[in-house]
Chain A
Amino acid sequence: MKAAQAPATSVQLRWLCACLALALAPHLTSLPPWLIGVTAAFVVLRLALAARQRPPPPKLLRLALAAIALALLWLQYRTFNGLEAGTALLCLVAGLKFLETQSRRDLYVLTFIVYFLGLAALLRGESFWLLGYLVGVAWLTSATLLHLTPARPLEALPSARRAGRILAQALPIALVLWLLFPRFDGPLWQLSSEARAQSGLSDTLSPGDITELALSSEIAFRVHFLGATPPPGARYWRGPVLHQFDGRAWRGIDSSAARVSHLRLSGAAYRYRLSLEPHAHRWVFTLDWPASWSLPKALLTSDEVLMQPEPILDTLDVVASSFSVARPARPLGADERARDTALPPASNPRTGELAQRLWQAHPRDVEYVRAVLALFHDQPFYYTLTPPRLEQNPTDEFLFETRRGFCGHYASAFAQLMRAAGLPARVVTGYLGGTYNRFANYWIVRQSDAHAWTEVWLEGRGWTRIDPTSAVAPERVERGVNDTVAADEPLASRWQRHTPWLADLRLELDALHEWWRERILRYDSGLQLRLLRALHVPDPDAQKLVILLGIGLGLVLGWLTWQVRRETRPADVDPVQRAYARLCRKLAAVGLERRAFEGPLSFATRVGAARPDLKAVVQGLCDLYAGLRYGPPLERASVVRSTFIAAVRAFHPPRRPLGAGAR
C-alpha cells in the first residue's frame, strides 16, 4: 500500500479539481449558493497551498469547518436523506475531502465522489446531452486516475486516449446490461415525495394572484388520434372541475363518488391513445365528453372527469373515446343547483350589479350568455400572460379597471356573472390545443397549453361548454397559445415562428426527443419483452430475459478478452517479415516445414529438391525476400516489397505435385 500513501502532487490536484467542477456543474441550480461558495473556497484554498508546496490545514481546523458546514446544511434541509439533500451533502464532503487531500488514497476517494455526482445528476435530469456530458466527465476522471498510478507522469493527450479506449470498450458491456438488466415496475422502497414534485394543473384557480403565467414547455401528455382528428375548437382536454368560489379562488370539491353516466352522448366520436406524464394527481385528461376508456380501475365522476384510484406517478397510457355532444339524462338536482349558483356574499359587489343589469336586459339564459360574451368582445379586454395583480375584489377590479388577463380571469369572471344571474356555472380546467408533430403523427400537449373555461347549465341543453376567452382572443382557441401572445413574447421565439424551416427543425428535434423519451427514458419491462419478441425469443418472460442477459454478457466479455489478448501478441514490425512467415506457413501446410536453422536460400534449395514443381516460384520468392531483408538497399524498394507481399498472398502450393494424382 506504499503507492496509496504517496503524496498527491499539485498537478494531480488540479486535474481532480477540474473533474470535480465539471461534475458539480449540473447541480449548480439545485444547490444552495452558499454551499457552492464554501466548496469552491475549500478547493481553492487547497490548490493555493499545494502550489506553495504546503500541507493541508491542521486537522482541528478541518474538523471545525466540517462541523460548521454540516450544521448549516442540516439547518437548510433538516435531513440528509433524499436526492437534493444527499447531493448537497456529497458536494460538501467533496469540498472537505479536497481540503484534506494529502495522499493518493484521498485522490481515489475524491474520484469516487466525482463518479457518484454524475449519477446523482442523471437521477434528476433526463436529457441526452446531460448523459453525454457526464460520460465526458467520467472520461476525464478516468484519465485523471491514469495519472495516479504511474511512477512517471503520463502526458495529457495519451492518457485521454487511453481512458477513451477503456471507455469505448466499456460501452458494449453497458449496452447489454442496460437493455437486458431486469427492470422493476415500482421503486424498491418508497421515496420521499420531495423528489417527485410535479408542475401542472392543480384543483385551485386564483387568477388574481398570478402576475406572470410561466409558459412551461414541459409536456403534459401526448395524443395519437386513432382515426379522425377533432377540429381545433373541439380539442378541449377535460381536467379538474371547480365548483367552490370564495371571492378570490375557485376550488374543486371532493367528487370521488362515481355513478353511471347521466349523459346521452352523440355527435362525432373520436378514439385516441393518450400517454399521460406523471402529475401526482388522480385525474386523467380526456376529450370532452369521455365515453369509454381502457383503465379498469378508473371511474368517471359526476363532473365527467376520469379519475384513477391512486395518484399518477408514472407514465400512464390509455386508449379512450369521446363524443362531441352530450345531453343530460336527468334534470339538475336541487343541491347541485344550489352548489353551482352559490357566491360569497359581500365580495365583488360591482360584478353582482353588472349581472343584475344585464339579466334585466336579457332575461333568457342563452341571450344572457351571449350578452356577457359580447361584453367581453366589445369592451377593451385584452388577453395577456402578464396580468396586473388584483387586490381586494379581484373580479371587480378585473372587469372594470384592469381588463387584462388570461383564460383563468375570463373563466372566473364569466362563471361569477352566470352565478350572479342565477345560472348554475362551474369552471373547468384542462388543456386546449397542442402541437402537431407531422414527423411522427401525434399531438404534443404542453403545460403552456393549460386552459380554463366554463360550463353553464342551460335548460334543455344541460352543461354547456362556454369559453369566454374565445370572445376576447378567438385565435387562442383556433391556433393555440403561442400565436396569441405575440405582443408579449421575446423576439427570438417570434423569429422562430416566422421561419418555417426552423419550425420544422424544431419538430424533427421534438420527434427525436419523443423517441428518446419513449424508448430510452421510459424503457421498462414491457419494452424489454418487446425486444425479446423482436429477437424471436419464444414466450418471453423475466426468466428468459435473465438468461439472455447472461448470454449477452458472455459474448461481450468474450469479445473483450479476444480484443485484449490480440493486443498482447508479438507484433511483427516488418510487413515483409510477416509475408515471409506466411510463405513458410503455406509451405509447412503442404509438408515442407522450414527448419529453425534454415535461411531463406537454403530453404528454397531444399524445397526445390523436394518439389520440382514449386522450385521456380519458391526460389524466386526466397531470393526476393533475401534481397529485401539482407541485401543492399534497393531502388524502388517499396514496389519490390509490395510485389513480394502480393506474390506471397497469391501463392497457393498444391498438396501434391501437379499430375501426380493421374499416375
Chain B
Amino acid sequence: MDKAATAAPEHPGTRTVRRSLRSAATGRFRAWAARRQGRDALPVAIHRRRIYILPTRFGLMLAGLLLAMLLAGLNYNSNLGLAYAFLMFGLTLVAMHHCHRNLLGLEVDISLESDAFAGTYAAFPCLLGNASALERIDIEAQLGAEQGQPAVTSVRARGRERLILEIPVQRRGVVRIARLELATRQPLGWFRAWTYVHVPLTVYVAPSPRGERPLPTSSGNRGRAAPAAEARGDEDFAGLRAYAPGVPLKHMAWKVLARGQDAAVRSYTSVVAEPQWLEWSLLEGLEVETRLSQLCRWVLECHRLQRTYGLRLPGIEIPPSQGAAHRTECLRALALYGAADA
C-alpha cells in the first residue's frame, strides 16, 4: 500500500492522516506505559511485564493467510491441509514467544548525561548485557520517541554489547529524553516486541561553536598580552606536583602511581602561565546566541591549545583551569545560560 502511495502523489493526504493518527496513538500509549512503569533505576533488567508485543504489518498479512488456510482446509475437508494450517498457526505462536523472549532478561545500562553542540548529535553510550545462554539477535535501540537514530546490534550468549545511541539536537539548552526504547522483530519478522526504559537522560547542548573573533589578547583583568611563545611552551617538563581532581589525565604520572607512591601530576611551564579569561563583556553589541557561540569556540580553542582559561558569564564565573572536566563545565555553563534552572 505504501508503494502505491509513493507512486501516486495525489493521495498524500491519507498518508499524513494515517501517520498522525498512528503517532497520536503511540504517544498516548507511551504516556500510559510511563505512568504504569514509573521511573527506572539503572541498570534495568528487562522483566516480562514491561515487554509489549504487537504483530507487524506482515504479521497482520499472516493472520489473513492463516484464516484463508483454515477455511480452505475445512472446506476441502482435507485433514492434511488442516494439519499444515495448524502447523503454520503454531509457527506463528512460537514466533511470537521467541520475539518476546529476545528481549526478556536483557540488562540495560546507559550513561545519564551527554554533551553536544547544537545542530549535531548527542551520543549516549549504552551497555546491553545478556547473562543467558541464548544469543539475542537484532536488538534495535532508540532514544526518545522517534527522533533518535535507531541502532541495531546482537548480544552474544553470556556477553555484553556496547552501543552508542545518538539523537540529533537542534538548539542550545538542555534536552531531556524521557525514555530509551528497545525493540526486536526477530525471529520471523511477524511480530515486534518492544520495551521502554524510563531514565532521565539529559543532554547539555552547548551553542554551536562559531564566530570569527580571535581569542582575546588581553587577559581580561591584567590588560597584558600573553606572549604566544610562552603559551606554546607546554612541552617543557617542569616537575611533579601532587594530584588534584580535574587535572587532565594525560598529565598523570602513571609510573609514579604504579610504583605504589601517591598520585602525582607532571607539571609543565605553561601550566603556570597566566590564565586566559573568556568574558561575556568582551562581546558587547552581539546577539545572545552569537555571543555564546563565539565563547564556545574560544573554549574549544583554549582547550585545544591547552591554555588555562576561565569563563565569565553574567552571574557565573568559572575559575581558570584546564582539562576535559573543566571544558565540560564551561560548555555546560554555556548550554545552561538563560535557562530557568541555571
Contacting pair B187 A149 (CB below 8 A): yes
Q: How far is the CA of A522 from the CA of B95 in the complex (A)?
A: 31
B171 an interface residue at 8 Å Cβ cutoff? no
Give residues 152-191 of B contacting A (CB, 8 Å). Answer: 152-154, 157-158, 185-189
Give how many A residues have a beta carbon under 8 Å from the other chain's beta carbons: 71
Q: Are B101 and A567 in contact (CB under 8 A)?
A: yes
- Which of A166-174, A579-587, A619-627, A631-639 participates in binding chain B? A166-174
Q: 1/0 per position for A183-221, CB-CB distance to B under 8 A?
A: 110111101000100000000000000000000000000
Chain A residues with CB under 8 A of B287: none
With a cutoff of 8 Å between Cβ atoms, the chain A residues found around residue B81 in the complex are 119, 122-123
Contacts of B300 in A (CB 8 A): none
Q: Which residues of A contact B75 (CB under 8 A)?
A: 187-189, 191
Asked if A152 CB lies within 8 Å of chain B CBs, one says yes
| B78 x A122 contact (CB < 8 A) | yes
What's the count of A-B pairs with C-beta under 8 Å? 178
**Contact, CB under 8 Å: A116 / B187:** no
Which residues of chain A are within 8 angstroms of B98 by Cβ–Cβ distance?
166, 564
Q: Does B89 belong to the interface (CB within 8 Å)?
A: yes
* B2, A171: Cβ atoms closer than 8 Å: no
Contact of B189 among A149, A154, A187, A568 (CB under 8 A): A149
Cross-chain contact A145 with B78 (CB below 8 angstroms): no
Q: Which residues on A sit within 8 Å (CB–CB) of B77?
A: 183-184, 186-187, 314
Segment from B33-41, B62-70, B207-215, B241-249 that makes contact with A: B62-70
Partner of A560, one of B78, B83, B93, B187: B93
Give the residues in chain B near A561, CB-CB below 8 Å. 97
CB of B86 within 8 A of chain A? yes
Whether B62 pairs with A171 at a CB distance below 8 angstroms is no
Judge whether A4 is part of the interface by a CB distance below 8 angstroms: yes
B84 at interface (Cβ–Cβ under 8 A)?
Answer: yes
Complexed CA–CA distance, A169 and B92 (Å): 11
Measured CB to CB, the closest approach of chain B to A94, in angstroms, equals: 14
Q: Is the CB of B336 closer than 8 A to any CB of chain A?
A: no
B110 to chain A, nearest CB (A): 20
* Interface assignment of B100: CB less than 8 Å from any CB of chain A: yes
Most buried by B among A142, A523, A561, A564: A564
Interchain CB contact under 8 A, B97 and A560: yes
B86 to A173, Cβ gap below 8 A? yes
A154 to B88, CA, bound (A): 23
What is the total number of residues of chain B having a CB less than 8 Å from a CB of chain A? Answer: 58
- A151 near B138 with CB under 8 A, answer yes
- In this complex, what residue of B is CB-closest to A169? B94
Task: Determine how close the nearest CB of chain B comes to the CB of A569; give it in whole angstroms.
Answer: 6
Residues of the A chain whose Cβ atoms lie less than 8 Å from the Cβ of B78: 122-123
* Closest Cβ–Cβ distance, residue A33 to chain B (whole Å): 25
B134: interface (CB < 8 Å): yes
Minimum distance in angstroms from A231 CB to a CB of chain B: 37
Contact A567 B185 (CB under 8 A): no
Closest to B92 in A: A170
CB nearest to B80 among chain A residues = A122
Distance between Cα atoms of A142 and B90 in the complex (Å): 13
- Identify which of B48, B57, B73, B91 contacts A138 (C-beta below 8 A): B91
A125-133, A279-287, A640-648: which one contacts chain B? A125-133
Q: How far is the CB of B181 from chain A (nearest CB, A)?
A: 14
Q: Which residues of A contact B104 (CB under 8 A)?
A: 564-565, 568
The 10 closest A-B pairs by CB, nearest first: A170-B90, A173-B90, A570-B131, A571-B133, A177-B86, A568-B105, A174-B87, A174-B86, A122-B80, A151-B152
Give 4 A-B pairs besides A119-B69, A149-B189 with Cβ atoms closer than 8 angstroms.
A135-B87, A173-B93, A173-B94, A573-B158
A-B contact pairs, 26 of them (CB 8 A): A1-B2, A116-B69, A119-B72, A119-B84, A122-B78, A122-B80, A123-B76, A131-B80, A134-B84, A146-B187, A151-B138, A151-B154, A152-B154, A166-B91, A166-B94, A172-B90, A173-B86, A173-B93, A187-B76, A187-B77, A521-B79, A565-B48, A568-B132, A568-B134, A571-B131, A573-B158
